[in-house]
Chains A and B, each alone.
Chain A
Amino acid sequence: MSERIGVADYPLAEKRPELVAGPRGKALSEITLEGVLQGEVALEDLRITPMALRLQAKVSRAAGRPTLGENLERAAELVGVPQAEIMRIYELLRPGRAQSAEELRAAARTLREEHGAALMAAFVEEAAEAYEARGLFRRRF
């Protein structure tokens, strides 16, 4: 995505509507009440896309908020990750759930290899290292 995006392009829905569409390609203007009533608009059409999140990450960075940009980039990677998998990894990241760093590293591999979530994978690996250093891999009751 080479689009140059800055604060002047924000809000995207107003300033750059041509860049905004649902996962099935429906533009904002195509999402209408009639469409909902006809069954042409599904919840799926109202989900944010990785592209929109990456565009917003650019806006964040341009506005001087790099950490927000990083979060939105990680989020872009999670868009395609099924809800159950999200909740599984979240649960695994909670204290004492994983019994070893390897369990977290395995989750990171899944993120990287199955979901193309390289940033999030690195983030989970960083957690594995931190949990090891702080002795979080102990049994909690």
Chain B
Amino acid sequence: MASPNRWKRFADWDERPLRLDRFAVEDAANGFAAFSSPADPKPGLAIEGGRVVGMDGVPEAAFDMIDRFIARHHLDLAVAPEAMAMPSAELARMLVDINVPRADLVRLAHGLTPAKLAEVVAQLSAIEIAFAYAKMRARRTPGNQAHVTNAKDDPLQLAADAATAVAFGFDEIETTMRVARNAWSNALACAVGAAVGRWGTLFQCASEEAEELRIGMAGFTSYAETVSVYGTERAFIDGDDTPWSKAFLAAAYASRGIKMRCTSGAGSELLMGFHESKSLLYLEARCLCLQRAMGVQGTQNGGIDGAPLAATMPGGIRELMAENLVAVWLDLECASGNDARTTESEIRVGAKILPYLIAGSDLICSGFGSILKYDNSFNASLLNGEEMEDFLVLQRDFEADGGLTPVPEGRILELRRRAVDAIGAVMEELGLPAPSAAMKESVVFASGSAETRSYTPGQVGAISGAVEARGISVLDVVAALARRGFRPEAENLLSLLKLRLSGDYLQTAAVVRDGRVVSAVNDPNDYRGPGTGYRVSEARRQELYAIRDVLDREEVLRAEARSEKDEARRIQYRTLGPAEPGGSPREVVIGISPAFGLKLFRTLAEHPLSAILAAMTEAIAARGLTARIVRFRHTADTSFLGLSAARLSASGIGIGLQAKGTAVIHQRDRLPHNNLELFSNAPITGLEHYRRMAANAAAYALGEMPEPVIVPTEGQALGSRFHARVALIYAIETGLTEDGAAPEELAVRWPARAA
């Protein structure tokens, strides 16, 4: 077949997940511009007689609703003349200057227009934005939010998954439904699940505005973030709201003691078809000024539903970071997006999350899909249940607090069981269709809803309808839990409800940690350079380190000890005395390492050392030569094992063999690292390779030039898989070395083979 006129690497690249992502050309006229567009106004502010008469190139008479609301409620006219007069480059430098306190910058932001804010942050590089974000975010302690949903709206699974998310440390969990009418069932289930294990995780049920407020009033939920705002008037109206209707809703939520933040993000205007050819950043700066003007404590910001669209544009990801920076500069709590999955490339996922992980954020994801991708009713998140452990490891790698804590397997199972038992008891107690033991069992162990045998969609609808129609409130649930012996859960749920009385969690960036409300008021970000701001405490560091299945020296020794007995049956090593240079040239010396067969018994590829030595000895014998086995104790290094063996060998050819399986063919007169053949990748080296290497050694001894044996690699990250074990094993080898120790001649027997 004729090969196409194409470098085949492109065909390889075609197969990578990255190529499923579509990229769009920069095209400001059609709204595809991240940081600036010819249609963006120049920053400007005209004040006459204590009144804004022009802003960002628009005279007051032409103000749209957004301009009007910002001019009236965002701009602090006592600060604005000073702030607007400052060069953007100077403000940009102040953002990354550790000697300029956050509070000074927040004060100035109160007097900056959207175009000015956008112009300033656009001057920062990605690393400067991340750094400024770390300095400017509102609350000192970082946190995280989870999505808890499933494809069946199954309340048992919601309860189990809510309890699981709470255990991992999420400060907030958010649910939504596949079928809108299941909202009350979802709310009940998550409220119960989130009360298992500890209290304080805030909970939201994203649904239609009026219903969401009613569910909140029934006490099931404690926060809301579905109040969206937009950067153009037409998009706002198309979204069926105005700045005043949204601000009214904001006050309504607070009046019910419910924490609330708005949502805005790059690309929403573009998706809605009303972008006015403005850049993403400028429109988003308008949204954020508007949110401060409305008096909401915070924002869910950073693309959100528009993030995948922003990610198609040049600079789009940097823009998402920039808009988050504007949010925190305006002193808003920032639930910083990192939710809608912006890419099919795992590399782009990791790159997207890293700046937020190391800078910290009030809520790094909004949210993190704590469930499997297919169970996410908001659509897949940037990070999902599948990738939870990747995130936990990133925290450990960078010693950065992403708000999550590894949880042991047994503990998770305990919590999931407790959660399904609790929701089952509540259902029974409230006369709702109670789950069978088999239903509960299927949920406890299930990774996702495809594996559960639980409620049918019809049953869930009936549960939800009954909760709503019968006016079941969270207090009924508290009482039901207590009556059925779930007192800790009842207390937890009640504690969350009591937060409403003081309204402490209505302040900026409030979450609950260890039973205390922690917000930008009592835990303000005080970053002023190294040693200040949020630091991972020693205790927290230990939590971040505690991922599962980590290796230590004892584990390595235990694993070797398990092989020791088997090896004792297979092979016997007898020391004959000091090894001398050989007499007959028809020999190959195999030099083994100090711990070989004494403390270490198998190669990294799990081959018993007895089998390796047998294969090599046989291959040498097959060429009519003798394999002489010598243990070296002065070195554990492969090259020197090989060279020392070669020097003892009358043929001048020796093999160096470490217990972990690294092997080399050496020749007497060569430089130590200039060997004849080397197997450096022990984990992928098979018995047949050792056999062929030994045959080649025999061939060299006979004066032939055989084809070298190559161990093919598929490019595995062998270092990541094996180096921890290698280092521990090698330390056992070097621990047995002794300067000047003489080589020992060994008699090796394979009892089973002899018989």
Residues on A close to B: CB < 8 A? Answer: 7, 10-14, 20-22, 28, 31-33, 36-37, 41-43, 46-49, 52-53, 55-56, 59-60, 63-72, 74-79, 81, 83, 86-87, 89-90, 93-95, 120, 123-124, 126-127, 130-131, 133-134, 136
Contacts and interface: CB of A to CB of B under 8 A. Distances in A.
Contacts of B507: 10, 56, 59-60, 63, 68
A75 B254 contact: yes
B689 to A, nearest CB: 67
A71 B501 CA distance: 17
A134 B249 CA distance: 21
Interface of B: 63-65, 68-69, 72-74, 76, 103, 106-107, 209-210, 213-214, 217-219, 233, 237, 240-242, 244-245, 247-257, 292-297, 331, 473-475, 478-479, 482-483, 487, 490-491, 494, 497-504, 506-508, 516-517, 519-522, 524
B502 A68 contact: no
A90 B252 contact: yes
Q: Which 9 pairs from chain A and chain B are nearest by CB? A: A71-B295, A75-B254, A48-B257, A127-B244, A78-B255, A93-B245, A13-B502, A11-B504, A74-B251
Contact of B65 (A37, A63, A130): A130
B276 to A, nearest CB: 15
A70 B294 CA distance: 9
B501 A22 contact: yes
Given A56-B506, A134-B64, A11 B516 contact: yes
A46 B506 contact: no
Contacts, number: 208
Contact of B254 (A42, A49, A53): A53
B504 A13 contact: yes
Contact of A46 (B210, B240, B498, B522): B498
22 contacts: A7-B522, A10-B507, A10-B519, A10-B521, A10-B522, A14-B517, A28-B502, A43-B474, A47-B257, A48-B255, A48-B500, A56-B503, A65-B297, A69-B295, A71-B295, A83-B213, A83-B217, A86-B213, A94-B245, A95-B240, A131-B244, A134-B64
A66 B111 CA distance: 13
Given A7-B522, A36-B478, A56-B507, A67 B73 contact: yes
Contact of B479 (A37, A78, A81, A130): A37
Chain B interface main SS type: helix
A120 B252 CA distance: 11
A56 B295 contact: no
Given A71-B250, A78-B252, A94 B508 contact: no
Contacts of A130: 65, 68-69, 242, 244
B475 A71 contact: no
A5 B254 CA distance: 19
Contacts of A32: 494
B242 A72 contact: no
Nearest to A129: B68
B402 to A, nearest CB: 25
Chain A interface main SS type: helix
B294 A71 contact: yes
Contacts of B76: 66
B498 to A, nearest CB: 6
A47 B256 contact: yes
Contact of A93 (B233, B248, B475, B482): B248
Contact of B219 (A43, A67, A87, A90): A43
A95 B242 contact: yes
A71 B494 CA distance: 27
Contacts of A47: 256-257, 500-501
Contact of A64 (B106, B213, B218, B252): B106
Given A65-B297, A65-B331, A71-B254, 11 more contacts: A11-B504, A14-B517, A28-B502, A43-B473, A53-B255, A72-B503, A74-B295, A90-B210, A95-B242, A130-B65, A136-B237
Contact of B494 (A36, A48, A68, A79): A36
Contacts of B106: 64
B91 to A, nearest CB: 18
Contacts of A53: 254-255, 503, 506
Contacts of A131: 65, 242, 244
Contacts of B524: 63
B503 A52 contact: yes
A20 B500 CA distance: 10
B103 A48 contact: no
Given A47-B257, A63-B520, A130-B244, A78 B251 contact: yes
Given A31-B498, A48-B255, A48-B503, A71 B219 contact: no
B270 to A, nearest CB: 20
Contacts of A63: 507-508, 520-521, 524
Contacts of B473: 43
Contacts of B297: 65, 68
